[in-house]
Chains A and B, each alone.
Chain A
Amino acid sequence: DQQVKQNSPSLSVQEGRISILNCDYTNSMFDYFLWYKKYPAEGPTFLISISSIKDKNEDGRFTVFLNKSAKHLSLHIVPSQPGDSAVYFCAAYKGNNNDMRFGAGTRLTVKP
């Protein structure tokens, strides 16, 4: 069962604008959420994470928002840059169990 879902397979934005990538999950036991970025022929690289005790975590141009009641998280990239073009995966797991569940990914294209 797909416990983590990314319903948008692709997203295209203009350079300098905001990119918003969305992710929904079904398992309320998840308490740690991550975003990975993946370039072709490379493994996903960790981008940013958030635990369930927070509703926002910011790291430079990247901010992750968590809405526990809606079981929804989002990644905001501001301002978007062409180098941000990649596939973004959200992932979630519970506690000290690294049994992580991943979404299917969203391809972000940032146009110059």
Chain B
Amino acid sequence: KAGVTQTPRYLIKTRGQQVTLSCSPISGHRSVSWYQQTPGQGLQFLFEYFSETQRNKGNFPGRFSGRQFSNSRSEMNVSTLELGDSALYLCASSSPDSTDTQYFGPGTRLTVL
């Protein structure tokens, strides 16, 4: 079974631009969660999608949004990028039978200049 994939792996943007990141979960997984990892900090939860609905949301500004498609693929969008948005963005998927076990993708490294 293929793992969680994220595209692109690396991205460089400038302040004020917007960006869309993509995550394809493991086949059969319907839950996708997004996390932000910044240097020196732990993972911070962004949001979780399940069956095309946002189920949980972390404490991030409205510039961060996401969606999930009928095939469970998910996208995350960040608008009006700020320097502080430079981070590793991870998505994780889990199956309906075991929502505790999250399988993480390799992440997208976003650099905002």
Which B residue sits closest to A2, measured CB to CB?
A: B3
Q: Is the CB of B53 closer than 8 A to any CB of chain A? A: no
A108 to B109: give the CA distance in the assembly, Å.
31
- A100 and B107 in contact, given A1-B3, A43-B45 (Cβ under 8 angstroms): yes
| Interface status of B88 (Cβ within 8 A of chain A) | yes
Provide the main secondary structure of the chain B interface: strand
A89: chain B residues within 8 A (beta carbon): 102
Q: Is B58 an interface residue (CB 8 A)?
A: yes
Is B56 positioned at the interface, with any CB of A under 8 Å from its CB?
A: yes
B11 proximal to A (CB < 8 A): no
Q: Do A99 and B109 form a contact, CB below 8 Å, given A43-B58, A87-B100, A105-B102?
A: yes
Contacting pair B45 A9 (CB below 8 A): no
Q: How many angstroms between the C-alpha atoms of A36 and B102 in the bound complex?
A: 13
Known: A98-B88, A99-B109. A9 touches B58 (CB 8 A): no
Instruction: Please judge, given known A-B contacts A1-B3, A9-B98, A99-B107, whether A41 and B43 are in contact too, CB under 8 Å.
Output: no
Flag A1-33 by CB within 8 Å of B: 1 or 0 each: 110000001000000000000000000000000
Q: Are B106 and A41 in contact (CB under 8 A)?
A: no
B37, A100: Cβ atoms closer than 8 Å: yes
16 residue pairs bridging A and B, Cβ less than 8 Å apart: A9-B98, A9-B100, A36-B43, A41-B56, A42-B45, A43-B42, A43-B58, A46-B43, A89-B102, A98-B37, A98-B39, A99-B109, A101-B104, A102-B92, A104-B103, A105-B100
